[in-house]
């Protein structure tokens, strides 16, 4: 069996196989495609850092004050919803990480006392608390420091630990993308299972070596063995497995979102069983809660609520008040999940509330990502056109000449506000629908009646109503001179 034969046999898969498309397929199969994309984003990140440190202090007129908080977040959720985990594929933080691996040749394993996603979960909560407490969105300088810290962290961690420790255990953005990619319409997966059974070298996981046992192509550094890989969780879309497979048996396929993700008891390569992973369950809980909390921090009622909380608790420190709000929101969602689990235990013959919670908590992920997407897309569509005046202002500041013309600060919204509002409500509704479908799928899987899953449908419906209310409130137009 040779690579040419296999590729010839798979070319008949047509448009369902992205690596077989005429132009896109060539790009995806090109070994340096990822490095090229990362280099482009690294150059863009360099411009953001430069403007953040040396540019205007007014956020809407600074690349660091707008690109990360308006354009980048919008493109991330659009990519996840329409294509896949493209940001991890093109992540600029991986270039210094790769340099660190080449310089230090790390051999240490990630410490067992920091397993799974716990570090990333902690960083997620801390980051979004700091985002609100210190108004990161309004400070180009602080934004630049955060981005620089990210580059340093990737360099240090992967220069000290082998594998992809930063991506798998630390990176908060990566964890957001992993959970969001549950709803992505593409998946990296094998074409022919029998071919993997006959394979003896397992290059997709081990990497490919030359005759002198020198590594010429990495395998999957996140430990996702392709024949046992399920869905998109922990997949950075790096395509190392695709390039390492000597038989061309790995591709990128279109799929129905969530179709392969719904059973928490399926053994997943590199992850295990989701129902035995409290870190993954907590990650989903935290992302769902933060999705609603982050939107709440940008609507006008939050100021009245914080004022009431300040007077009630006699606390004037805004960071302290926000810490209380964050802890309260996380505790409230955890309590709601516990109550729904207990009610399901009462209404159906299941082992116990913990059994229910460790399986049904994942059904909240589509709704949570729907809230994130609706929120981020609102800011993106109301501020997308600011990219032109930002570029004009940057060139003007850098050269002292209006080479691209005078900044056209009147440009902001890509769509009318009414159209944007309707669109983001549709996105939220699709997330809600995904959560309902997942819940009903688990009910069928465990032979539970409608009555037994009503607590979860009620929880999802309650969150959906809260999301509609949040999106209907006046929201700060961050990233534009209008807000």
pLDDT in tens, 199-243: 989 999 999 888 888 888 899 999 999 999 999 999 999 999 999
- In sign, the C-alpha dihedral spanning 267, 272, 275, 276 is positive
Report the 10 Å Cβ neighbour count for 469: 13
pLDDT reported for residue 323:
96
- What are the phi and psi torsion angles at 34 (to 5°)? -70, -45
Q: Which of 164-178, 203-217, 290-304, 342-356 is the least confident region?
A: 203-217
Contact indicator for 18, 254 with CB cutoff of 8 Å: yes
Give me the pLDDT at residue 216, please.
87
For residue 2, the model assigns a pLDDT of: 46
Q: Pick from 389, 82, 95: which is nearest to 257 by CA? A: 82
Q: What is the arithmetic mean of pLDDT over 352-379?
A: 96
Q: What is the mean pLDDT of residues 306-310?
A: 94
Distance in angstroms (rounded) separating the CA atoms of residues 205 and 243:
11
Pair 285, 357: CB distance under 8 Å:
no
Contacts of 239 by beta carbon, 8 Å cutoff, 6+ apart: 28, 33, 34, 89, 188, 252
In Å, how far are 91, 135, 143, 286, 321 from 128, measured between CA atoms?
20, 10, 13, 11, 14
- Split at pLDDT 50, 70, 90, the class of 1 is very low
Taking alpha carbons only, the member of 239, 250, 198 closest to residue 13 is 250
Instruction: Please write the tens of the pLDDT for every residue from 20-62.
Output: 898 988 999 998 999 999 999 999 999 999 999 999 999 999 9
- Both tokens of residue 321? 């008040």
Band the pLDDT of 11: cuts 50, 70, 90.
very low
pLDDT tens figures, 57-102:
999 999 999 999 999 999 999 999 999 999 999 999 999 999 999 9
Strand partners, 161: 108
Task: Say what the pLDDT of residue 478 is.
Answer: 61
Is the per-residue pLDDT at 481 higher than 90?
A: no
pLDDT of 4 reads 40
> What whole-number distance in Å separates Cα of residue 356 and Cα of residue 337?
9
pLDDT value, residue 262? 87
Q: What is the pLDDT of residues 313-358, one digit of tens each?
A: 999 999 999 999 999 999 999 999 999 999 999 999 999 999 999 9
Report DSSP state, residue 109: P
CA distance to 64, 177, 404, per residue, from 390 (Å): 10, 27, 10
Write the CA distances from 320 to 123, 127, 167, 324, 330, integer angstroms: 17, 15, 30, 6, 16
Do residues 428 and 467 touch, judged by C-beta distance below 8 A? yes
Q: Residues 162-173: what's their mean pLDDT?
A: 94
The per-residue pLDDT for 16 is 79
pLDDT value for 433: 97
pLDDT at 483 over 80: no
Judged against a pLDDT cut of 70, whether residue 455 lies above it is answered with yes
pLDDT at 168 over 50: yes
Question: Is the pLDDT confidence value at 278 over 80?
Answer: yes
Quote the tokens at residue 283: 């990650």
Residue whose C-alpha is closest to residue 419's, from 381, 469, 387: 381
Residue 477 has pLDDT above 80, yes or no: no
pLDDT at residue number 9: 42
Tell me the pLDDT of the chain averaged across its residues: 91
Residue 277: pLDDT above 90? yes
CA 50 to CA 108: how far, in whole Å? 34
């Amino acid at each position: 069996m040779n690579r040419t034969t296999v590729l010839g046999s798979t070319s008949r898969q047509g448009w369902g196989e992205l690596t077989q498309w005429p132009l896109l397929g060539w790009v995806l199969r090109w070994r340096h495609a990822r490095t090229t994309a990362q280099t482009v984003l690294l150059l863009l990140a360099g411009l953001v850092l430069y403007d953040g440190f040396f540019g205007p202090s007014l956020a809407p007129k600074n690349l660091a004050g707008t690109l990360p908080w308006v354009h980048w977040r919008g493109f991330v959720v659009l990519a996840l919803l329409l294509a896949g985990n493209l940001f991890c594929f093109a992540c600029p933080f991986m270039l210094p990480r790769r340099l660190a691996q080449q310089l230090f040749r790390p051999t240490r394993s990630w410490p067992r006392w920091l397993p799974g996603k716990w570090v990333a979960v902690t960083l997620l909560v801390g980051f979004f608390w700091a985002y609100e407490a210190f108004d990161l969105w309004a400070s180009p300088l602080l934004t630049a420091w955060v981005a620089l810290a990210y580059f340093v962290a990737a360099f240090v961690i992967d220069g000290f630990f082998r594998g992809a420790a930063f991506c798998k255990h630390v990176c908060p953005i990566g964890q957001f993308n992993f959970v969001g990619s549950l709803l992505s319409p593409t998946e990296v997966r094998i074409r022919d299972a029998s071919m993997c059974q006959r394979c003896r070298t397992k290059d997709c996981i081990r990497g490919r070596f030359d005759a002198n046992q020198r590594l010429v192509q990495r395998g999957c550094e996140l430990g996702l063995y392709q024949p046992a890989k399920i869905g998109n969780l922990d997949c950075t879309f790096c395509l190392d497995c695709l390039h390492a497979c000597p038989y061309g048996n790995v591709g990128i396929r279109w799929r129905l979102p969530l179709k392969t993700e719904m059973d928490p008891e399926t053994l997943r390569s590199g992850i295990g069983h989701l129902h035995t992973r409290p870190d993954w369950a907590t990650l989903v809980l935290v992302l769902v809660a933060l999705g609603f909390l982050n939107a709440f921090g940008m609507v006008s009622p939050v100021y009245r609520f914080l004022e009431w909380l300040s007077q009630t608790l006699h606390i004037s420190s805004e960071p302290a008040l926000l810490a209380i709000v964050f802890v309260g929101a996380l505790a409230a969602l955890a309590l709601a999940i516990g109550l729904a689990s207990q009610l399901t235990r009462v209404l159906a013959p299941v082992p116990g509330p913990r059994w229910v919670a460790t399986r049904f908590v994942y059904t909240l992920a589509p709704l949570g990502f729907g809230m994130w997407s609706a929120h981020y897309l609102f800011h993106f569509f109301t501020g997308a056109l600011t990219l032109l005046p930002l570029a004009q202002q940057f060139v003007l500041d850098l050269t002292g000449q209006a080479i691209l013309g005078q900044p056209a600060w009147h440009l902001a919204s890509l769509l009318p506000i009414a159209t944007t509002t309707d669109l983001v409500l549709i996105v939220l509704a699709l997330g809600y629908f995904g959560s309902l479908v997942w819940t009903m799928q688990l009910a069928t899987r465990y032979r539970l009646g409608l009555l037994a899953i009503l607590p979860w449908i009620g929880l999802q419906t309650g969150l959906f109503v809260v999301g509609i209310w949040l999106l209907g409130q006046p929201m700060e137009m961050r990233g534009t001179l209008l807000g």
